[in-house]
Structure 1
Amino acid sequence: MSAENVSATLTVALPAARVFAVLADPTTHSAIDGTGWVQEPVDRAPLTEVGQIFRMGMYHANHPDGGYQTANKVHVLDPPRALGWLTGYDPKGDGHLEFGGWIWRYDLAPLGPSETEVTLTYDWSAVPQYIREYLQFPPFGPDHLANSLHHLAELAALVAPTSRT
């Protein structure tokens, strides 16, 4: 872990396209996360373009409201090699989104037709100081990213192969 990002890597015995398809499906994110924070998606459409917004229901006991919603903006989309998003919210409920400066990113490196190295990175280097004064980074324990990658591998193994995989 550096001062402002943390990552984990796992090699999975699955094609990169199959792993990417699971990541690009917001309905799987709750199961991939595994903390109980990520709840049901508000927007269920697959992630298909940079700039796309997808909202997720969230829950955290330390959040003032307990349950809340994030608005995530896809900022990297390179199927089947990379997918990343900025996490934000709609503070006034008027559709004007603000982003806190942290990024989730998955990088997939095919190691052959049926094996992929997956790296998950959480980067908070762009978080402004005023947010750092009330949020701790990273907001999870050291095993969280590795656990998420194992959940991803389990889900991707259950997905029926398609002609793209």
Structure 2
Amino acid sequence: MPDQSTVEHVNATLTVAASATSVFAILADPTTHAAIDGTGWVQQALDPAPLTEPDQIFRMNMYHANHPDGAYRTINRVELFDAPQIISWLPGYEKDDGQLDFGGWSWRYDLVPHDPATTEVTLTYDWSAVPQPIREYLRFPPFSPGHLTASLHHLAELATRPPQPSTSGRPALPR
């Protein structure tokens, strides 16, 4: 068993009864992230455009009772985008001077189709790039590992719902 003080990521895997393309479309839609999130911290997408490429920025309203402001905003930068296999992003924030700063942790989803209607999804939270000063005041991971499993179950629920009519002009996603 690895020494927990050297572990710098956690992950969970779930097989979802949906195609990799359908699951990926949900993950690439920031408006679904609040419904996927297992902590309840993600509140609302401020940039509802679908994620389509690395370096794309999207913002989210967040809430955490232990955050100094309670309600806060994250600025996320897409790190990996390889539809429909991998999507990941780095959360950060916007400084007073408009510059973006990222804390060194990331969210990554890896999708492996088992067949046309079944996909294995692995969610990884990685904090290996977090600088020491941040590690001195934040505990990693900042949630229980069950959060990842809950998030994957929420994703599976979204992916297996019958499609709902789209009001955005974009193709309807399973809900």
Give the TM-score of the pair, scaled to structure 2.
0.88
Partner of 2:123, secondary structure, is strand
**How far off is 1:36 after superposition?**
1.6
Tell me the alpha carbon deviations over residues 43-65 of structure 1, each in whole angstroms, 9 at most, x when there is no partner: 11000011000000010111110
State the partner residue of 1:157.
Answer: 160
> Aligned partner of 1:154: which letter?
E
Residue identity (%): 66
> Aligned partner of 2:131: which letter?
P
Matched ranges for 1:61-100 at <5 A: 61-92=65-96, 94-100=97-103
Tell me the alpha carbon deviations over residues 127-157 of structure 1, each in whole angstroms, 9 at most, x when there is no partner: 0000011111001012110110000000111
Partner of 1:139, secondary structure, is coil
| Contact 1:58/1:70 (<8 A) preserved | yes
Moved more, 150-159 or 130-139: 150-159
**How far off is 1:160 after superposition?**
2.3
Partner of 1:43, secondary structure, is coil
> Aligned partner of 2:52: which letter?
T
> Aligned partner of 1:143: which letter?
G
2: CA distance between counterparts of 1:34 and 1:102?
17
Please tell me whether residue 118 in structure 1 is matched to residue 132 in structure 2. Answer: no
Query: What residue ranges of structure 1 are gaps of 5+ in the alignment?
Result: none
2: CA distance between counterparts of 1:135 and 1:159?
40
2: CA distance between counterparts of 1:27 and 1:41?
5
**How far off is 1:26 after superposition?**
0.3
1:107 to 100, 106, 110: 110
**How far off is 1:35 after superposition?**
1.6
2: CA distance between counterparts of 1:43 and 1:8?
27
Q: Runs (4+) of structure 1 moved beyond 3 Å? A: none
Query: What residue ranges of structure 2 are gaps of 5+ in the alignment?
Result: 165-170
